[in-house]
Structure formats: C-alpha cells, structure tokens
Structure 1
Amino acid sequence: MKRREFLKKSGIGLAAGVAAGAVAAPAVLAKPSFSWKMVTSWPAGMPILQTGAERFAKLVDELSDGELTIEVYAGGELVPPMGAFDAVSQGMVQCYHSASYYWAGNHPGTQWFTSVPFGMNTAGYNAWFHAGNGLALWEELYARFNLVPRPLGSTSFQMGGWFNKKVDSLEALKGLKLRFPGLAGKVYSKAGASVVLLPGGEVYTSLERGVIDATDWVGPVLDLRMGLNRVAKYYYTPAWQEPTGFTEVVFNKAAYEALPADLKAVLDAAAAKMTSVMLAEFDIQSARALAEIRAEGKVEIVSFPDEVLATFRTLSAEVLEEEAEKDPMARKIHDDYKAFMAEWLSWTAVTDKEYFARMV
C-alpha cells in the first residue's frame, strides 16, 4: 500500500483533526519531488534490456509515491547509444542504463564490471558485488567521473558466437574477420583473427554479406530476434568470452546526492528487484529460443575444441594483465577480482561443477 493511501485508510488524518479541536493544525511541509531523465544504449523496444530500464523507472515511481519520476529514452533518442557515460558524467541527464565494458576508452578498469573472459558467472559476480569489494571498487572508479553505479540486470550465460566457418583449430582463425567487442576482441586479435568494430544495427547485414565471418551478440533470445540464425551456419559454445553480462544503472553524482535517503533506498531496491527479474527472463527465454533454433535444424550447435579453448584461456590471461597494467586502479580491480574468483571457484568446484556434471 502506498504511504498516502495508508494514512487515509487508517483514519489518522481524521483522528488528528478531532483531537486538535479548536487548536489550529500545524502546517504540513510538502516533500520535494524529482523529475529525472534516463538514457540507454539500447534500441527502442529491445526486449529485457530496454524494457527492463523502462520497468525500473516505473518501479521507482511506484515505490516513491511519485516523488521520483524517471523518463526513459532509448539509444539515439536523446544522446547516441555510446554517449550515455559522458552525458551523465557531465550532468546533461541524471542517469543511464548500459554496460560498463563499453567505457574502456574512458578507463580500462570499467571492463571488469560487466564480464571478463573465463571469469565468474552471474552468481559469482553477484557475490563479488555484494559480499566482496566489487561494488565498492566500482563506486571508487566511477566517482572519478562524477558517477554512482549500481548493477541493474544480467544476461546470464551467453553463447560463444555465430560463425560461418568452422573453428576446428587455431589455424582456422587466421584471416577471419570477427566482430567481438572488448576483451574478447583483443583475445581474438592475439589469436590471429582480424577484429572489426560494428554497431549493433550493422551486425546482421555484415554477416549476411560476408563483411564479417563471425560475431557474438547477447544470447539466444536476442540473437534469434535479430535473425542471426538465418545468416550463420554454426552457433558456438561455451561463452568463454562472456560467461555473464551485467548491465548497469548509473547516476550523476550530484543528482544522486541531492536525493533524500529514502529515495536513494528506493533506487537501490528497484535496481535489485529488476536485476532478479531480468536475469530470470534471460534464463528462461534463452532456453526457449535455443530450443527453437535446434528445432529449425538449419544451424549446427558446436563446441570449441579443447585445444582452442586452452589457447583462448592463456591469451585471455595475457590480455587481462595488459589491461590491468594500463592504470593503477585497473590493477587494483583486477587483483581483487582474481583473488575473489579463486575463493569462489574453490566452492563451486565441489558444488556446481559436480552437480551439473551429473545432470547432463
């Protein structure tokens, strides 16, 4: 029940008036209200990601009794999709929804808060954020840019990408043109592939016309929506390059600090709620989408060979060290992440690993 409705239905207002009698009631100070704008990096109507940002805004409105409203703009409607970080940092708008690894050009340390190759899955990240130093390090880094970050959504496990040529050896990667952003792209470059950067809107046509030989996107539910199953022959697993994909809601620091404590708590509660909802949606909808891809029988779902994965793992460790060496804060984040993951793996090796090995 909303706060104002509770006061009305409980009769508190009437009782107070009767008790006061002829004594004049004290003036009630109206609480301030806040109207914010949010920009995103997603196309209008994009399921789970853009719609998740919109549902987050709606939930904030409901939980705050309308004291904090957020108007959401899809990528390109107010600022370019990749302009969200700077727009909020500079105070043009109050918040954005995106993925931290897009901002490697602003600081290499941002990449660790979305996903890293051969890193932790969603559960591991959640533990690092809330029971380790992950969120505190994220806040420390983003404070340099006048920003306050919170996790908001996760894609869960993804897939290893769409290919039009089989990767049955490392030699097969030589000369291939791939669209894999971020850290994975650097790994593929080390392995001998040619990596190109393309916006999401050009991925389908580039794969269809042979401009690129392979790409990843998000996961089966959004890959199927883009139609990548119609223009690729092979769908690879596992997603060594992105075993999860955390997204973020980020607030302008001055705007955030101007809020009273209860509205800051509303933002935290709404972000936590929508993270759980979006994760659940990705998990089940990706399962259904993968089943649909299998049923069509036009795409071969294949695993990377063990020797290829072993090389990817070695090259990934090299890339992470190189990125960490670019800045002391990136080094601090990487070292903490690596130490936390070692603890987490010691537990999951005797729980998750053993369980799923017997489930399949």
Structure 2
Amino acid sequence: MTFNRRSALAAGAAGLAAAPGIARAQALRWRLVTSWPRNLPGPAFSAQRIADRIKLLSGGRIEVQVFAAGEVVPAFSVHEAVGNATVELGHTASFFAIGREPGLAFFTAIPFGLTPNEHNAWVLKGGGQALWDEAAARFGVKPFLGGNTGVSMGGWFRRELQSAEDVKGLTIRMVGLGAELFQRLGATAIAVPPGDIYPALERGAVDGAEFTSPGSDIQLGLWRVAPFYYAPGFNKPNGSSELVVNKALWDGLPDDLKAVVQAASEAEQAVALAEIEILNMEALATMVSTHGVRLRGFPTPMVQLARRHAADLLGELGTRSPMAGKIAAHYTAFQGRIGPWTRVSTHAALGAREV
C-alpha cells in the first residue's frame, strides 16, 4: 500500500467516526498556515479566532496551531499547501489563487462589485458557496468564508494624484483583479506579500500600495513612506478572507466535526466585520490626528474611467475558463438583483444621514 499524507489525513478523519472514544483521548492536531504577518489586526486575528473556536466547539477533539506567512509556506502558497496535504488548514484570500483558476477572484473581491453584506448574502444564501466548492474542489480544498476586513481603502501613495494621468507609470502593490484594473489605468501592478509591503515602499520598489482598510493598514506603518491615503477602494469593495480545509480530510470528517469547522468559520464573519469597523474607526482617527496621514479622494474622472475598464475586465474574466464564466454569470446576475435594494436601503439611508 502506498502511504502519503493525503491518505493519512482521510484515514485519521474517518477514524474519528469509527472510534469517537479514542478520538477524544487522542486529539487531532492540525496546522493552519496563513498569508498574514503574525498578529496583523484583521485577517490574522480571524485565523487565530477560528483555530480557538474549533478547539472549543470540538471539546478539544481538534487542536489547531496557527502559523504566520513564511513560517511553514510562503504567503501566496497557502491554497496549494492545503490542497496537496502539506498542512490541514489555511487562512488566505481566494484571489491569491486566481493563477490556478480565474474564477476564484470572485470570492474575495471584484472591482465595483459586491459589498461585504452583499457578498455574504451571495455566498451563504445566494448560491455562491456551491460554485466556490466546485471551483476549489479540483485543487483539493474545501473553502469557507473566514472573516472580512470590510470595504477597502484605495491605497497609499508617495505623492498626490491630481488626475487619471498621474497614475500612469506608477508601480503599485496590488493583487487580484484590482491589479489588472490599475494596469489598464496605466500603472504597473506587482504582487507583494503583506509583510513585505513596507520594505517595498521604503526602498522605492513601489510608488504606492493597497492592502485593506485602516484597522489592518495601521499595523504596517505605511504612512511613514507614503503619506497620501486614498478612497474609495473601488478596486476592492469587499475584503473576504477564506478558510480552506484539505478536501480529503474534510470528506473523512464525521458530520459533527464538519459542523464544528463550518460554524467556527461562519461565526467569524460577524465577529470580524464588527471588529474591523471599530478598528477602522479608531485607526483612521489616529492616522490623521497623530501620524499626519493625508486623506484624499481619487479624482472623479479617474474613478469613472476605472469603472469603464472594470466592466470590460469583468467581461473578459468570464472567458478565461469555463468555471470563471459560470461564476461570472451568477455573480453579475446576483449583483443586478440586489443592487436596487441596496440603493433604496443602505445607500439611501447613508445619503439621508448626511443631509
């Protein structure tokens, strides 16, 4: 018989169902690798809480050790490491794996796309989860929503942007479809792991950088080298993280432990979104009042141009693979259906509040 880690994971999980008494005495020990620096507010907090919740809800039958980016695998290799059974779990962002399947971009963020609440509705109740499962299964992972950093900011820049022309020729740290969008605006976008963003700005390898929102960004200290902080984050209006579980392991788990993992992950959606609003509120105030951050809005003509490019980009994305086309059609239809409600509810309420 050929022994490999994938078969061992499945066998271990199956053993839980066959011998629950033994399983309780001999807890499963899983490793969870992440794409984040240790203790990064937002996603790293979410990863640790999910791990803690799995242990608590399983009554100690599963113990999860969390590793920061680079401690076991590089930041952008989490998806692959979980799929090939190097580790059991990963906490990352789905759009880091769009090189494997372009359609995975939809499960983190789409430029001018769904907001956090809309995204949760699509994945959890609107049919998105089934498409996500289908797209991820061929890579050996089972995905779940695993936290959210909310609506992102547009990024940090060394100098002020007065027009769309000022973006041309810049090198910007950006990932996902936002990277492609800024390239169509004339910039060069490069993928830099979160923990390496500050050094890249400091040494001039990039002229600007987008990560997430103030509550996470403040930890990176980017204002020291790029003081202009831009909104809106049209490139990333949603900030979903994902928990990925090795699929062979998942398939072998008894139903009660499947429910534990799912509940631990889905609970993080509410907690993370609540926490990030507090962190963003406090961080933005500190940035402006204490650190001299210069808050700016992107020039309106630039945003309008970006919206046109984004529509073209979304259309092209659907042609890059059959799976991407299937997801794109479903996502676009859902956004079309929920858009009218968002306009007469959230958008209208915020507008009324500012009158």
Name the TM-score, length of structure 1 as normaliser.
0.89
Question: What's 1:312 paired with?
Answer: 306
* 2:147 is equivalent to residue 153 of structure 1: yes
Report SS of the residue matched to 2:40: coil
- The separation in 2 between residues aligned to 1:85 and 1:196, in whole angstroms, is 19
User: 1:234 Cα shift?
Assistant: 1.4
Question: What's 1:57 paired with?
Answer: 51
Report SS of the residue matched to 1:351: helix
- The separation in 2 between residues aligned to 1:205 and 1:348, in whole angstroms, is 39
Question: What's 2:21 paired with?
Answer: 30
- The separation in 2 between residues aligned to 1:196 and 1:247, in whole angstroms, is 20
Larger radius of gyration: 1
- The separation in 1 between residues aligned to 2:282 and 2:274, in whole angstroms, is 13
User: 1:45 Cα shift?
Assistant: 2.2
Q: Provide Cα deviations, 1:255-309, integer angstroms capped at 9, x if missing partner.
A: 1111110110111111121221111111111111001112137222111122111
1:82 pairs with one of 76, 84, 91: 76
User: 1:29 Cα shift?
Assistant: 6.8
Mean Cα displacement is larger for which, 271-280 or 132-141?
271-280
Mean Cα displacement is larger for which, 335-344 or 35-44?
35-44
Q: Provide Cα deviations, 1:91-120, integer angstroms capped at 9, x if missing partner.
A: 121111100000011110111100110001
Question: What's 1:343 paired with?
Answer: 337
- The separation in 2 between residues aligned to 1:29 and 1:349, in whole angstroms, is 51
CA-atom RMSD in angstroms = 1.6
Q: Provide Cα deviations, 1:15-44, integer angstroms capped at 9, x if missing partner.
A: xxxxxxxxxxxxx97253432221111122
Q: In 1, are the aligned partners of 2:76 and 2:193 still within 8 Å (CA)?
A: no
- The separation in 2 between residues aligned to 1:314 and 1:325, in whole angstroms, is 18
Give matches, 1:11-50, under 5 Å: 30=21, 32=23, 33-50=27-44
Q: Provide Cα deviations, 1:139-192, integer angstroms capped at 9, x if missing partner.
A: 011111121111010001121111122222221112122112221111111111
**Would you say how many aligned residue pairs link Structure 1 and Structure 2?**
333
Report SS of the residue matched to 2:344: coil
Structure 1 gap segments, 5+ residues each: 1-27
- The separation in 2 between residues aligned to 1:112 and 1:142, in whole angstroms, is 12
1:108 pairs with one of 97, 102, 110: 102
Q: What letter corresponds to residue 226 of structure 1 in structure 2? A: L
Name the TM-score, length of structure 2 as normaliser.
0.90
Give matches, 1:1-360, under 5 Å: 30=21, 32=23, 33-296=27-290, 298-360=292-354
Q: What letter corresponds to residue 275 of structure 2 in structure 1? A: E
Percent sequence identity over matched residues?
37
Q: In 2, are the aligned partners of 1:220 and 1:286 still within 8 Å (CA)?
A: yes
- The separation in 2 between residues aligned to 1:205 and 1:64, in whole angstroms, is 41
Q: In 1, are the aligned partners of 2:156 and 2:222 still within 8 Å (CA)?
A: yes
